[in-house]
Structure 1
């Protein structure tokens, strides 16, 4: 192993000894209660299989056949999730063919951040992760299941399903993707039209035509945002079948992979000889592998929160310093939009996950000695699935990437580091994605222009008030303030200012996610403005420093003056336009108040649990 990777892994293990031991004790206790249908009363069990066909009823009565829970985030408004409509029947048939049973256990909510960008609904997006975890847990709590398959792809959905699966960590879980849509117009062209619209150079109808040509079919959006980052991370952590993440929907290979994943779930239950619960797969090495894979590909900054929450659910304590140290040791091997012009299909054509994982394994950047749903050892994931004579088989990946402009080698990386930096200073802490920054933009020192919403910024841009060197501050966008929405509405105007030659950057306690690109953005600032952070004390005209080269985020105001300044507060007098009301937001006030800071996962779950002390007499 590369020494720095091993050192970070060892640090995580050492600081998590007590919490991991407590988690494993909980999971051992849960396992001891099985087989789970055996503890149900006759009335409980009869309710559980009442709607099944006669054969499934007989199998479930016997207590010797595996029952696999299907948890799905299907809806047909999300292009990525629309293919899941027919998956339950595929899964049930495949599981029946190997003598087991599958039941649809739970549907979970799934929202599309692409639809809610810049809208009130976006303020429910991050909150939905914890709701998804709780919704899945309710379905699994019927105690009818020996394992599960998780159907989810986008943004908060996969992390939410992971949190739920780890809370039932004594069971095996297989995650089943649906694949990306075919390539549409190039992402660079889409971004160009967006900027032209921001400048008033194209009509709304022309913008809609460009967007519709980009997002044009069933499947995941093809840029490398959180959805595709989810798939890459889950596969590299050993929860997908090898090479299954980026196979397009509606193909024979996609269907066969789905059926194979369902069958594999039955082989991992405690009813057989190959028991492998998810609590044994997701250990410190798997978590570090997921972070390294994310960094080696310039993936979504959302995972600086999601992976921390997932790790905590498995009993591990991970922080942003771990990300920064791993980033410094991990070369950037891909150029996928917004870090390049290729899309995820081009990455797949170049060799995809198998070539990427082999490169990282051979360089000692990934832990090979891990458990996966496909068997022990990550080397199994250097093979690709193919159809041969109508049958699903795996074969070794090509010896080298088929397109080195998209997927390169450790010997010749695009950059020597993973493109994620942690910034610290009198503003607190933040993360910044540097993998897509233009040369000369890693250090910006300029006066602040302060806003309390992305809509205020857009109005100032349209009025020409931002035609200058400036650092735009958008505060009161953190977890407790309004649920921490993504702020992609800011990207086109800031990109326009940059193209006009101005030195610009963004500082916010909100999110920008995997679609953040060429504009320097210090995001996830914590403490957030509403929770005591100095972000609330910045005034328009103050000099700010965003320095990604030296890891600095500084408000260039004396400590004495800062100490005397009052903190700004959000305007709560206009309830009709408040983030606390409308579009269902009033239902989530209590949950918002419980969210931790971004570096603690922006999570309302797990953090206040008492230590497990065993059975009570």
Structure 2
């Protein structure tokens, strides 16, 4: 792997983040140092505390951790059977204990966190708790680690809000070393493009519910992550780019023998980092350069737009302040190196076979688009993540890639990318600030100008579509009251099939919303995360039916083409009282009222803390 000087824009963005973050980052590192400098837990805790902490451990482990002061690992697990991606974690603690014992270390499961499946809750009331489940997971992680007896921690989590939540929680315990342990994607089933085709056929009433259910069940059919490149799999790409996995761990199948070896290796790395000769706490590892490396990896792979919310919050947890402008400036110089559905036909298994994260990282480092001089879980730093993981004689070994990509339809070199720029754009104008994922949008749809049709909810749009009230004319669908404070900012995936049907007819359509679409954002242009949201007085609430909206991803603008004086006179729409009440009740939504009240804007990470 050849390395070049760091790209000037990557350097400049990193430096302005460093300067912007100087105060909070210094305070954060001071706290990391303060907590890390304390005596071992066995020496600073009272006898009753120690007895409670290790009461249920075998006598041999009690002696080892108390008397011998062996490395003691905590496991924070997001295991449940509801998420196909998390189901394999059921037996991981047993494997981790065996491996730790071989290394002379001890282990306790510190705690569990909730982990909801967005695929189950899409379009349902439970989706309105999804975004705030991230902060709930972060708090659950803090509760688990609050026992304060661990020398290092392993985190078992993969999916959408779970990894950001675990990472935020881990960074609030920045004085301990941390390793994230994935479980891999499910095997390939019905292709994502075929699944999308059946969904559109269902929206057109060409097939019924039995045919749709059959297609969905063929697509989602076993243990592991969903195989499209949505938020869950983007999480894994970003953790590789941050050096928080064992190198090459992201996309190995749950039942591949290499997966078990990589999990063993994660334990070995955690134990190694806990020992003083290689002590690497996560709060020192995750610095401005590492955050920028994650942003670059997201852009280079056309990853989930959710991370323009989540990684703002992750960075904040480490005392680092990033913005959508930082993402946009990086996107202008970071090439698109992979095409994985919805940005292409391939799924993540094909991406992995083509070289996966390791190949992409090799290319980014070689082009000077990632910081090479950073700490990582692996002792060799981020360069270790640019090699291919294999299983040889029962152990993980690493090999260098050939210069040429294995499958140029799926991954490309930085010298010959799919696109010279990344897949995300920042849009600004009189409707506020928003983002758009353009890597899957046809180039002739990067600019749409059409009359607005305003809806107060996803359900209102779907009802209008089902009734035949829309679908025969160009339209910009404005779906408002979908931000964090309004209703928890649910994903609006149910809009994709009908909008896709309209675009398939040759109509020029787009979506503008203060809600989310996430990693499944596809071929229909969608200006999402509009900030400030309407219930905070955001100007999207001034749009009326028939206003001409121009969404221009080339120029980076989002405008209502309304006379300035008329625009100034208009009042922002107020959420209907019945809708406001409904948003806050049923299926436990009452319990999240404080989250909705205190949430920051999407660009500020939608943080409740």
TM range (shorter): over 0.9
- Secondary structure at the counterpart of residue 311 of structure 1: helix
Distance apart, 1:63 and its partner CA: 5.5
1:566 and 2:571 are equivalent in the alignment: yes
Matches within 5 A, 1:333-482: 333-466=337-470, 467-482=472-487
Question: TM-score of the superposition, structure 2-length normalised?
Answer: 0.98
Distance apart, 1:272 and its partner CA: 2.8
**Deviation digits for residues 234-272 of structure 1 (CA, Å, limit 9, x no counterpart):** 111000011110000022110111011012101111x43
In the other structure, the counterpart of 2:589 is 585
- Secondary structure at the counterpart of residue 14 of structure 1: helix
In the other structure, the counterpart of 1:551 is 556
Matches within 5 A, 1:508-547: 508-547=513-552
Matches of 2:524 and 2:78, distance apart in 1: 33
Matches of 2:579 and 2:351, distance apart in 1: 48
Pick the aligned partner of 1:49 from 25, 35, 54: 54
- Secondary structure at the counterpart of residue 599 of structure 1: coil
Q: Does the 8 Å CA contact 2:130/2:161 hold for their aligned counterparts?
A: yes
In the other structure, the counterpart of 1:507 is 512
Pick the aligned partner of 1:59 from 44, 64, 68: 64
1:99 and 2:84 are equivalent in the alignment: no
1:140 and 2:145 are equivalent in the alignment: yes
- Could you list the runs of 5+ residues in structure 2 that have no partner in the other structure? 1-5
Matches of 1:244 and 1:272, distance apart in 2: 25
Distance apart, 1:341 and its partner CA: 0.3
Distance apart, 1:459 and its partner CA: 1.1
Matches within 5 A, 1:156-175: 156-175=161-180
In the other structure, the counterpart of 1:305 is 309
Distance apart, 1:95 and its partner CA: 0.7
Pick the aligned partner of 2:189 from 184, 190, 206: 184
Distance apart, 1:563 and its partner CA: 2.4
1:498 and 2:495 are equivalent in the alignment: no
- Secondary structure at the counterpart of residue 471 of structure 1: strand
Question: TM-score of the superposition, structure 1-length normalised?
Answer: 0.96
**Deviation digits for residues 111-138 of structure 1 (CA, Å, limit 9, x no counterpart):** 0000000000000000000000000100
- Secondary structure at the counterpart of residue 105 of structure 1: strand
- Could you list the runs of 5+ residues in structure 1 that have no partner in the other structure? 606-617
Pick the aligned partner of 2:293 from 276, 289, 292: 289
Matches of 2:292 and 2:503, distance apart in 1: 35
Distance apart, 1:360 and its partner CA: 0.8
In the other structure, the counterpart of 1:613 is none
Matches of 1:72 and 1:398, distance apart in 2: 37
In the other structure, the counterpart of 2:199 is 194
In the other structure, the counterpart of 2:3 is none
Matches of 1:574 and 1:260, distance apart in 2: 50
Matches within 5 A, 1:245-264: 245-264=250-269
Q: Does the 8 Å CA contact 2:243/2:381 hold for their aligned counterparts?
A: no
- Secondary structure at the counterpart of residue 371 of structure 1: coil
- Secondary structure at the counterpart of residue 432 of structure 1: strand
Pick the aligned partner of 2:336 from 323, 332, 335: 332
Q: Does the 8 Å CA contact 2:261/2:394 hold for their aligned counterparts?
A: no
- Count how many residue pairs are aligned between Structure 1 and Structure 2: 603
Q: Does the 8 Å CA contact 1:180/1:345 hold for their aligned counterparts?
A: yes
Q: Does the 8 Å CA contact 1:351/1:398 hold for their aligned counterparts?
A: no
- Is the deviation greater in 455-464 or in 559-568? 559-568
Distance apart, 1:436 and its partner CA: 0.5
Q: Does the 8 Å CA contact 2:42/2:69 hold for their aligned counterparts?
A: no
Matches of 1:174 and 1:85, distance apart in 2: 18
Matches of 1:544 and 1:383, distance apart in 2: 47
Matches within 5 A, 1:309-320: 309-320=313-324
Matches of 1:572 and 1:255, distance apart in 2: 53
In the other structure, the counterpart of 1:86 is 91
Q: Does the 8 Å CA contact 1:547/1:553 hold for their aligned counterparts?
A: yes
- Secondary structure at the counterpart of residue 129 of structure 2: helix
Structure 1 stretches of 4+ with a deviation exceeding 4 A read none
Q: Does the 8 Å CA contact 1:450/1:474 hold for their aligned counterparts?
A: yes
- Secondary structure at the counterpart of residue 333 of structure 1: coil
**Deviation digits for residues 320-368 of structure 1 (CA, Å, limit 9, x no counterpart):** 0000000001000111000000000001101112211111111111111
Q: Does the 8 Å CA contact 2:481/2:535 hold for their aligned counterparts?
A: yes
Matches of 2:443 and 2:37, distance apart in 1: 57
